[in-house]
Amino acid sequence: MLGFITRPPHRFLSVLCPGLRIPQLSVLCAQPRPRAMAISSSSCELPLVAVCQVTSTPDKQQNFKTCAELVREAARLGACLAFLPEAFDFIARDPAETLHLSEPLGGKLLEEYTQLARECGLWLSLGGFHERGQDWEQTQKIYNCHVLLNSNGAVVATYRKTHLCDVEIPGQGPMCESNSTMPGPSLESPVSTPAGKIGLAVCYDMRFPELSLALAQAGAEILTYPSAFGSVTGPAHWEVLLRARAIETQCYVVAAAQCGRHHEKRASYGHSMVVDPWGTVVARCSEGPGLCLARIDLNYLRQLRQHLPVFQHRRPDLYGNLGHPLS
């Protein structure tokens, strides 16, 4: 797996090596991996994905402008798929504003992203859209909906976040997502894309390994966790959880994140990244809005699963159907 980082668009490309940054230069840097599982194909033949990091605010049009700039940069750099974080559309000040700003999937904002995908000719992972579902009139609540668009702008999959973040973390402030959001009813089967088969999740879902195991057993090669982690849980848990999900499922993990201060009431940790199936962070964003890029090597993934066949060694007779494959 090769990875490099760019931030912000058009300013510089940096080598993804500890402690080393080279402005005004585009370089690829090989990451450590077991010697017997070295890359066998040319890196230029491997699909390139872009992971976008933004600071959403309640201003939906400004947020779209920022995201569109990153997506166009990703297309210019040759990515086949761009990942946007949870709440890419907006981050409101309170539940009432969240409900007011929300839209149905057939609304104006998603149409703009549909046109953007067609214009750029790449797939878009829209990591957490505030969706007014078909039950909006009855519930007056929304769904946190991960939408996947293909390069023609068609919606090929939707996953509604199943684990809602209702927590009180000292120093970070309370979060009660269920005040405005309904939990999704089911998981979505992995979707074939130009980068590989993608399993959809959202943020807090990463704390539940049963979900990632179910997606992996259903055929996922890439797990994606678009997020808006807080300033306390971020430094403590963000990278650890993402690397754990990659190692235990032997999948790539792609995590686009919100960063910085959204308004006077909320800030996010950032540190968007890509983790390979060995658990190595192969691309990461630095501080502030921008993007990082990584190549997905499915041959490497298959070799790793062959050499370390953990899914063949599971004992559901001892601990039940944790991560039971999707029906």
Residues with catalytic roles: 86, 161, 203
| Closest residue by Cα to residue 177 from 206, 203, 215 | 203
| 118 backbone dihedrals φ, ψ, rounded to 5° | -65, -45
Query: What does the DSSP assignment read for 224-271?
Result: E--B---TTHHHHHHHHHHHHHHHHHT-EEEE-BBEEEEETTEEEE--
The two three-digit tokens of residue 282, written as one number: 């192969």
Residue 174, CA distances (Å) to 61, 91, 229, 235, 265 in order: 28, 15, 13, 18, 11
With contact defined as beta carbons under 8 Å apart, do 213 and 311 qualify? no
Residues 6+ apart with CB under 8 A from 267: 230, 231, 260, 261
Rounded Cα gap, residues 99 and 140, in angstroms: 8
List the one residue out of 280, 279, 260 whose CA is nearest residue 268: 260
**Rounded Cα gap, residues 21 and 246, in angstroms:** 26
| Cβ-contact 254, 227 below 8 angstroms | no
